[in-house]
Amino acid sequence: MHYYCISFTHKNTDIATREKLSFSNDDKKREFLRLIHSNNKILESLLLSTCNRVEIFIFLADSEGIHEFVLNSLCLLCDVNKEELNLKADFYEDSGAIHHLFSVASSLDSLVVGETQIAGQLKDAYKFSLQEQRCGVNITRAVHYAFKCAANVRNQTEISKNPISVASVAVSKAKELINLENKTAVVIGAGEMSELACKHLINAKAKVLILNRDLEKAKKLSEQLGSNVNFESIANLKEILNTYEIFFSATNAQHAIIIDELLEEKNYTRYFFDIAVPRDIDLKTSDKIVVYAVDDLEEVVRKNLTLREHQAQIAYSIVGNMTNDFFKYLSKLATLPLVKQLRLQAKEIAHKELQKAINKGYLKSSNHQEAQKLINQVLNAFLHHPSVNLKKLSGTMQNDAVINSMRYVFDLKNENLEGLNHYKCEFSLENQNEI
């Protein structure tokens, strides 16, 4: 059994390819999970898709051929060249896969180190996989531990102090280019990223105009954000594009919605910040049309990374320790039931043999209790050292080999771990919408 992860991120994959790989609707996610589960080696799976990453996290019976199979599945569903994917993807197995998952959950692998959105996105991905019955006890354990690790990183470092997101980085870049105070900034979309952009713009003393297809949702968001926020239908997009100067777009559209044909010539510069993947904006740039996409915000991100570098080192040591702890935890889950089964099997055999002896007249029934006590004492003495040694092995490299050997030698079956809440997610999202 193996944990396995295939990862496409801002670090290894350009935005054009990430757009193709984007799983922005549930039907496409559902189809991909169905497709990869046609391989009976894949026992559990979780798909995390955000503007900066696509992570395919899998629990496997056998990893042979899985690399090829998952890439073929992506090519089939996302219309991407396989050789290109093979060159870009990062692959992780077992401890490497768990370390990567914990790093992602702790926001150490994010474009903006320390941003807090990723935890909520991972939780949503986990819940979706669970609802689709693609996720069981093994990925659940890993995700539980990932949230525990993320909490330790938050509590033991300052990496998320004054947390920032891609939306905040985009607004910071806008502030470098233009004075936002009392300016009207247009935010297209009314989802989580758009809401964050609105909050940062309000904090910069800008006025905000929200455009959205669902007017009721736009109205609700504008009322929630306050008097400096208005809303209009996205049906008025062309008119608004030719009226204002500053635009932030974060919709779930599968294709660009802001294109050259919608723009009229103006004698002032218009600034467009595309914080969506797939991209919302496809414009020819000029001295009057300036466009920033997610990957263009690297300069601000680098400044953020430099400020947080020391804290990141501390955080990575936490992730490393938590990865080791996770595998020790798994070893204990395997070792303790084995000890229990070994003792139960020995007692059952002893009880049967004692009953045979009484039935055949080798022992008197009146001696049953004394004989049972003696047998229990012998069994406890005999099993003491094996039990102690098995517990000592927990978390070591030899653990799995010894456990498998013991199961084979004594014909011990795998035991379901009663009492373990397989599906409870112990992570609570607090202060998710940071400023």
For β-strands 2-9 and 184-188, DSSP reports them as unpaired
Catalytic residues: 51
Please report the sign of the dihedral spanned by the C-alpha atoms of residue 15, residue 247, residue 225, residue 178. positive
Q: Is 191 annotated as a binding residue?
A: yes
Calpha distance 343→341 (Å, rounded): 5
Q: Is 322 annotated as a binding residue?
A: no
Q: Is 120 annotated as a binding residue?
A: no
Q: Edge to edge, what strands does the sheet with 90-93 contain?
A: 42-49, 53-60, 2-9, 90-93
Q: Is 24 annotated as a binding residue?
A: no
Q: Is 50 annotated as a binding residue?
A: yes
Q: Is 121 annotated as a binding residue?
A: yes
DSSP structural state of residue 12: T
Q: Is 343 annotated as a binding residue?
A: no
Q: Which two tokens stand for residue 82?
A: 């396989």
Q: What is the largest CA-CA distance in the chain?
A: 110
Q: Is 359 helix (H, G, I), strand (E, B) or coil?
A: helix
Q: Is 239 annotated as a binding residue?
A: no
**In the block, residue with structure tokens 């990453």:** 53
DSSP codes of every residue in 310-354: HHHHHHHHHHHHHHHHHHHHHHHHHHHHHHHHHHHHHHHHHHHHH
Nearest to 430 by CA among 163, 101, 126: 163
Q: Is 193 annotated as a binding residue?
A: yes
Other CB atoms within a 10 A radius of the CB of residue 331 amount to 18
Q: Is 117 annotated as a binding residue?
A: yes
Other CB atoms within a 10 A radius of the CB of residue 68 amount to 11
CB 125 within 8 A of CB 48: yes
**In the block, residue with structure tokens 């059952």:** 348
- Please report, in range form, the residues annotated as the binding site for substrate: 50-53, 110, 115-117, 121
- Please report, in range form, the residues annotated as the binding site for NADP(+): 189-194
- Please report, in range form, the residues annotated as the binding site: 50-53, 110, 115-117, 121, 189-194
